[in-house]
Structure 1
Amino acid sequence: MSTVARHLRVAHQVANKKERDILTKLATGRIYIKKCRCPVPGCHFQGQRLDRHLVAFHTELSKKRRQAYSVRAKKEEAIDQLGKLRASDPAIPMVSQLDVQASEGGSPVPSHQEESEEEEGHCNNPACKRQKQALEKNLSDLETELNRLRKRYRHHFHQSLVKAVLVSESRGGKDLT
């Protein structure tokens, strides 16, 4: 670990000790993830011992896949810690950009789709490929519909809020809570 920390300090000029500690832990895989959210898509676990949860509740995943999700959780946690450190406006400026890239959508943490493309054991069966394409199209359509519904909800919420403000103002501001 001291070699990694020294490399960060000398080669990358990471002067902020807290930032260097987070990056060193990320590089060596020593990020504490026991209380992190489960990175497996569709799983909403967020409690004690994520490391045990992955083994006990995701038996459908291979050992290699569980390790990949563990690494993903560590990256997400490190990015979260870097973001909190940046938000605290440290006296010694930060050098890394991992948290900034993640917030701008250029996340260094691979998406579920990118991970599934990297998985071993691709199916070369044409039926599997057609089914995969159909599922990806279905997912894309559902995401489009979700975005449309979110816009509609925001519009409806905004309209009801404006209406409530107008009613409140007409009654002297007593009804708005």
Structure 2
Amino acid sequence: MTASKFVNRCPVCSRKSWRLREHLDEKHKVRNPVERRVLLAFARGRVNVKGMPCPVQRCGYDGRRVQQHLQESHRDMGQRQKRRLLAGLQWQKTLEKLRQLRRSDPHPPMATGLDLPEAGDRAPAEAEVRPSRSSPPQRRPVVEDEEEEQDDEEDMQLHHRRDHPCLPAPTSHVPRSGGTSRTSRTRRRADPDGRARPRPRLRTPQSPPSPPSPQNRCLEECRRWIPELLRDSSRRRHDVVLRYQLFGCFALLVASLYGHRAGVVRNMTAAEVREAEDGHRRDSSGYVINVRQHKTARAFGSAQLFLTPEEFGWLKSWMTIRSKLRPQTDLVFFNCNGGPVHKLTSFARDAWARMRLPGSPSLTDIRTAVATMARDTQCTEVRRQMSHLMCHDTRTADRFYAMQLSVTQLAAMRRTFDVSRGDAEQTVDE
């Protein structure tokens, strides 16, 4: 018999074998074809678990796609832990099939007793589900909870880094020293009074803090550049180059915060800014600007921007400068002819280069990074709300009806965006 492409672990004796079918026939005398097929399916990780409840504690999911639910909803878990939970579900399904087969009084008779009460319902030790056909399951010893948490963190960091470039590189964990330290090997020295001195403890070197991501650095630079550009524009309000630098910085700010398209900033009108100022209450934590004209307005309605009092103050300062220019348009940001700024992405790239940030991303690239961040760090419901606020994924939107949020809800969503970026210091106070 030709050897298999993958080494599999026998579910009866937990031994590895390249010819598991032959091993079951010769070693365990499995003659029943149904029993052999059930055991081979578990060894290869091909057991259908549709309709089984989620194995995570306090999770009430009982839908049909529990494997997809584990991957998408429980993002706080590592891949190894998810594979172990999935292996447990597959083992339960395997035992259920074996019990059904035994009740049918099969012929030839069953050779294994995995489904019998004295065998127990525990899965074979260290059984794992193979994530793909190209990577066979590997046997791992039982580890402590602390090591499992560290492995899960490494898996999540590598997964985030692989999906979008705007997140920082994962920090390296300090390896545990498995041997005896030099201090413990030395003899204890006694004090003059005969008492033994305590052994000095070696300090484990701390890993250096990871540098902030380009997205967070962009926000920091925008908060530093925009007030300076407004101050210079108030003295030189006819300087077009200085004005376009301000437009590019503001577009980077909005794109890094919420991932909005360039059209949201380009089509913002002075009337919408005045509506946000008139609708502001004293007990509110910020201002809400509803931009009506943008690409997916028919599917999502107005694109909403939540700005803190400081950020809205920058916009008001520009509106003061704008009133002195007397443009023949109602747009907040306009070109020399009074029309929309069609080169807003180019101005944003120039501002990005002046901030000395790596690369030359467009506003669409930043929007993609924000969408990937929401997908990888949040649960399904929060990710759906964040995508809806970005006017993203029109296939799942309610056509011609938008989910308009209140000021309090938008303030909470702003905090969610900031926490996802790891920028908790900029969280909006309630």
Flag whether TM exceeds 0.5 (same fold).
yes
Q: Distance in 2 between matches of 1:99 and 1:27?
A: 16
Against the structure 1 CA distance between its residues 33 and 14, is the aligned structure 2 distance closer, same or farther, given a 3 Å change threshold?
A: same
Report the counterpart of residue 80 of structure 1 in structure 2.
Answer: 96
TM-score (structure 2 length as normaliser): 0.25
When the two chains are superposed, the root-mean-square deviation of aligned CA atoms in Å is: 2.5
Matches within 5 A, 1:17-96: 17-96=33-112
Would you say the 8 A contact 2:113–2:119 is kept in 1?
Answer: no
SS at match of 1:23: helix
Aligned-pair CA distance for 1:43: 2.6
Against the structure 1 CA distance between its residues 78 and 88, is the aligned structure 2 distance closer, same or farther, given a 3 Å change threshold?
A: same
SS at match of 1:56: helix
* Structure 1, gaps ≥5 residues long: 111-116, 124-177
Aligned-pair CA distance for 1:36: 2.2
Q: Distance in 2 between matches of 1:19 and 1:67?
A: 24
Aligned-pair CA distance for 1:120: 4.3
- Paired positions, count: 115
Q: Distance in 2 between matches of 1:108 and 1:59?
A: 26
Q: Distance in 2 between matches of 1:48 and 1:119?
A: 32
Aligned-pair CA distance for 1:15: 0.5
Aligned-pair CA distance for 1:74: 1.0
Report the counterpart of residue 106 of structure 1 in structure 2.
Answer: 120
TM-score (structure 1 length as normaliser): 0.57
| Larger relative contact order (CA 8 Å, sep ≥ 6) | 1
- Structure 1 or 2: larger helix share? 1
Q: Distance in 2 between matches of 1:39 and 1:77?
A: 13
1:15 aligns with 2:31: yes
Report the counterpart of residue 121 of structure 1 in structure 2.
Answer: 146
Q: Distance in 2 between matches of 1:36 and 1:104?
A: 24
- The residue type paired with residue 19 of structure 1 is E
Q: Distance in 1 between matches of 2:144 and 2:73?
A: 20
Q: Distance in 2 between matches of 1:108 and 1:97?
A: 13
- The residue type paired with residue 34 of structure 2 is K
Larger Rg: 2
Q: Distance in 1 between matches of 2:35 and 2:119?
A: 21
- The residue type paired with residue 67 of structure 2 is D
Report the counterpart of residue 176 of structure 2 in structure 1.
Answer: none
Against the structure 1 CA distance between its residues 105 and 39, is the aligned structure 2 distance closer, same or farther, given a 3 Å change threshold?
A: farther
- The residue type paired with residue 73 of structure 1 is L
- The residue type paired with residue 109 of structure 1 is A
- The residue type paired with residue 71 of structure 1 is A
Aligned-pair CA distance for 1:106: 2.6
Aligned-pair CA distance for 1:32: 1.3
Report the counterpart of residue 290 of structure 2 in structure 1.
Answer: none
Indicate the larger mover: 37-46 or 24-33.
37-46
User: Structure 1 vs Structure 2: percent identity of aligned residues?
Assistant: 30
Q: Distance in 2 between matches of 1:119 and 1:33?
A: 28
1:3 aligns with 2:19: yes
Report the counterpart of residue 159 of structure 1 in structure 2.
Answer: none
Would you say the 8 A contact 1:98–1:108 is kept in 2?
Answer: no
- The residue type paired with residue 120 of structure 2 is G
Q: Distance in 1 between matches of 2:20 and 2:119?
A: 27
Q: Distance in 2 between matches of 1:89 and 1:109?
A: 24
Aligned-pair CA distance for 1:87: 1.4
SS at match of 1:99: coil
* Structure 2, gaps ≥5 residues long: 5-17, 125-141, 149-430
